[in-house]
Each structure stands twice: as structure tokens, then as C-alpha cells.
Amino acid sequence: MTTPLLRVEDLVVEFGPKSAPIRVLEKVNFEMMSGSSIGIVGESGSGKSMTSLAIMRLIPEPAGRVSGRIEFDGRNLLDLPKKEMPRIRGRDIAMIFQEPMSSLNPVMSIGDQIAEGIMLHESMPREKRREKAAELLRLVGMPDPMGRLDSFPHQFSGGMRQRVMIAMAIACNPRLLIADEPTTALDVTIQAQVLQLMKQVRKRLNSSILIISHDLGVIADIAEHVIVMYAGRVIETGDSRSIFRNPTHPYTRGLLDSVPRLKDDRKRLHQIPGSVPLAGMIRQGCPFYARCGLRMDKCQQQMPPMQSVNSTHNAACWVTAPPLDTPRLVVAGEMR
């Protein structure tokens, strides 16, 4: 049996005093194999980014407390001394953060920022690091890569800054690449280019990709497996084909119904009423109860367990949504 590259078991993240903790992640479980791609989707406040920060061990302590297991290549990252994590970040696990302008150092040249990551993990002369930085910029499609090494972040467009972030992330050939909203604030043409670039990088480096987004089109384009999160919980998981053709949880169904479609006679876009509850507000029952059109009394009293829809698809719901009549997304020529 093949061992997963990443296994997350009963991951819990809490903030505040131990006597009255605010739980922002509630027993998150998933695993991914080497070379695979997984998408985590949900509204803002669902716990997507918090999950990625927990994997990278970037939750501030002691304000935040992380428990459970995060196994990477058979080692529980939560058991490692803090001083060992910088050796893993960038080399084995790398992250593309949500907003490149705030992630890049505004007073440091692009070449130096890329070379800095290489210097931390590889013994290489300065000139060689500079050559490798230029090669990485060339790999991510940056025009005039050698000439751009001495430029600063404010001299780049949003799409170019995101390419720089990807170059920095892949500098040491990481086995796992985490992308947190990599296409936020980019126009659709640049979004498509960035996603295509990530797929090329994955193929070239044979890296696994964990992509986080609220955009179902992005998830459908790049992820083989989908995790739907709501209020800090995983409420549905499955391969992308099954999720988009047969969304089982009413929340997943609501997200898909909210996607604009070209041939649609509705006067208004569908919207899920209400908003994601604040962390720690749900003490019992299904967290989606207040917004669900299929709710019943049992939903308010008991959190439904994960139940099998098919061999690759699970959902946590007492009353599942009816099947879709037609697929909701068209990706790469295929209806999903």
C-alpha cells in the first residue's frame, strides 16, 4: 500500500484562553498522494487558509494551539522542534501566498528575494544563485528574466508578481506546493495563464499541489480531488468529477448554483442566504443549519458524520441535495 505524501488527521486549531477556547478548525481530515492535486473550496471564514497555515506551522504560538497530526512523508510535523521547520519550508513544502504585493519585500530586488530561498537550502556561489534565479523567472514565463533580477516588486504588474511568487516557491523543487488563492485580484486572462503555469510546474517537477480558492472554476481546472469546507469543518470530499456532477451537501450545491452560466433564464444569480458563522459560534449540530433549505430538527441537534456517497465521494449531511439535472461548469471542454 502506497503511503500518502501528506496526511492530516483530526486537525484542530484553537485561539484564546484554554478555559474558553475559540475553535477555528474542527477535526479536519484528508490525505494526498505524491504527484496529486487537491483543491480546498469554501467561502471566506471557512478555514481554508487556516488549514494551510497549520500545515506550514505558521500559526502564531502561544495565541494559537494546534493539535492532531500533520504527517508529511511519514513524519508528524507537529512533533518536530521549531528549528527544524525552516529546513522543510521551501525545500520540501512551499507556499504561494494570497497577495504577492504584501508577501514580497518592497525594498529588496526580485533576484535577491529568489536567491535568498536558494541560499537557505543549497550551498551555491552567489553568481550561480543569480543564474538559477534567472532560470526560474524564465521557467515561469517572465520576459527578459536576467534583466528583471534587479527590479523591485512595485515595477511589476499583479500577474508578474504572482509569477515571481511561483518562481520563489519552486526554487528548491518542493514535493508539496500549497497555493492560497493564487489568482485573487487577477483578471481572467492572467488567471488562466497562472493556472496553466502551475499545471506545467506540477508536471515538470512532479510536485503535489494543494490549491485553496473560493472560485469553483479555478478548483475544477486544476484539482483532481475536492475538499469542501464550512465553518472550520470538512463537509464534503470527492474526486472533482463526482463533486461537480453530483454535489451531495446542500452547501456544495449552493456554491455550484451560484456560478454564473451563459444560458440561464434566471433574472437573478442564486445566492446562499446569510453568512458563514463566526468561529466558535456553533456548539452542536450542523454548522450550515441556519442557511440550509433542507434542514430538519435533527440537523440542529447532531453534527452528521461523514457518509459514503460512492467509493471516492463522502459528505456530512443528514438530508442530501437532489442530483443535478445538468453539469454546472465547463472546464477544458468537458462538462462538470
Tens digit of each residue's pLDDT (9 = 90 or more) over 143-163 = 899 999 999 999 998 888 988
What's the chain's average pLDDT? 88
Tens digit of each residue's pLDDT (9 = 90 or more) over 19-77 = 888 999 999 999 999 999 999 999 999 999 999 999 999 998 888 999 999 999 999 99
> How much of the chain, in percent, has pLDDT values that exceed 70?
93
Q: What is the pLDDT of residue 202?
A: 87
**pLDDT of 1 higher than 70:** no
CATH number, domain 1-89+209-303+318-336, options 3.50.50.60, 3.40.50.300, 1.20.210.10, 1.20.1290.10: 3.40.50.300
Q: What is the length of the chain?
A: 336
Q: Which residue has the higher pLDDT, 85 or 269?
A: 85
Domain ranges across the chain: 1-89+209-303+318-336
